[in-house]
Structure 1
């Protein structure tokens, strides 16, 4: 984990399948603590004319071969393992691609870090991200690194303000999974007892998403 100072939010990421991921605002300069314009991931963004704010944690997510590198700012809204039928089906489909790393955990869930989508940006290989959908009518798209078929994150095709990033792809120490959701899709007797489990989405998760949306709306 590295620490950066947030001074300006990035533009939203595109979520259209097969299209490149958008970049941050051109108003941001990547300036390291020694003042050089290196563009290195250890540097923090400094916006022209902006006042410094308190440091926020930054996390990095990379594909299996290192061709794609994403960076996030701020603490995740939640850390969950999803057991919905769509996540299970999509994980099996992606795991079947050549060389794809595992997605499902030992209990059949997909571990996600849920973050605001305006706090994620591509550092390297954004053009390699490809969107995969379970069907043409699916409301979600899973973004896979075309270089090694690693699933990076799940995005929504509507105006939802968050993304669910594959926890297994993060480097270093990241928040531990706190709950299992949508366990109603699991067979009777197969629900694990290692974490709090919910058949749907608990109020604590929904409340966190609402608060994150409000914070984004007021510009925080």
Structure 2
């Protein structure tokens, strides 16, 4: 049996069950993550911030077939930066906690690092999209700092997809758009 991890919104009403190990844990510096992060952070003064001091978002990627909603699906709503965006950010409206990012044509979910208790949060393995980082931000050399999405990043994603039989499950437990 694969190990399971439960991640919850800040108030605990919404819980996601994650099976097995993540595909990869990253820190994204792209403009879209920063723009969405700033907006989602503005929804609540009490929800955990999405952006770190460098303006980056920590994301822990899991196969879609290894994520299920245990409780609180009725509170999950999506936010898109534009009407035709293929990426949606999903928020637990009970406490305005950002839960995950779903690139809808993809086979993975990018769960926000803030959903884990700090002691169990998978460490960052690489930074991506660093060419978009905030002006004046100097990145440490503790992990690879890829200007875009690196070859290693894609190898990890394709390896996970192959292990899934090249399926792309749909996440059906999100209940409409965020009314903000």
Range class of TM-score, shorter chain:
0.7 to 0.9
Structure 1 residues 62 and 187 mapped into 2: Cα distance closer, same or farther (>3 Å)?
closer
Q: Deviations over 1:144-188 (max 9, x none)?
A: 000010000000222x10010011112451321111110111245
Structure 1 runs, 4 residues or longer, greater than 3 Å off: none
**1:117 pairs with 56, 59, 64, which one?**
64
Matches within 5 A, 1:101-116: 101-116=48-63
Q: Deviations over 1:39-98 (max 9, x none)?
A: xxxxxxxxxxxxxxxx21211111011110101001100000001000000000000013
Q: Report 1 or 2 for greater relative contact order, CA contacts < 8 Å, sequence distance ≥ 6.
A: 2
**2:60–2:113 Cα contact (<8 Å) kept:** yes
Aligned to 1:92: 38
Matches within 5 A, 1:161-180: 161-171=107-117, 173-180=120-127
Unaligned residue ranges in structure 1 (runs of 5+): 1-54
User: How high is the TM-score relative to the length of structure 2?
Assistant: 0.86
**1:83 pairs with 29, 33, 39, which one?**
29
> By percentage of residues, which structure has more helix?
2
Distance in structure 2 (CA, Å) of the matches to 1:91 and 1:187: 13
Q: Deviations over 1:99-133 (max 9, x none)?
A: 43211112111001101011000111011100001
**1:59–1:174 Cα contact (<8 Å) kept:** no
Aligned to 1:23: none
Distance in structure 2 (CA, Å) of the matches to 1:119 and 1:187: 33
Matches within 5 A, 1:56-205: 56-99=2-45, 100-158=47-105, 160-171=106-117, 173-187=120-134, 189-193=136-140, 194-205=142-153
Structure with bigger gyration radius: 1
Q: Deviations over 1:10-29 (max 9, x none)?
A: xxxxxxxxxxxxxxxxxxxx
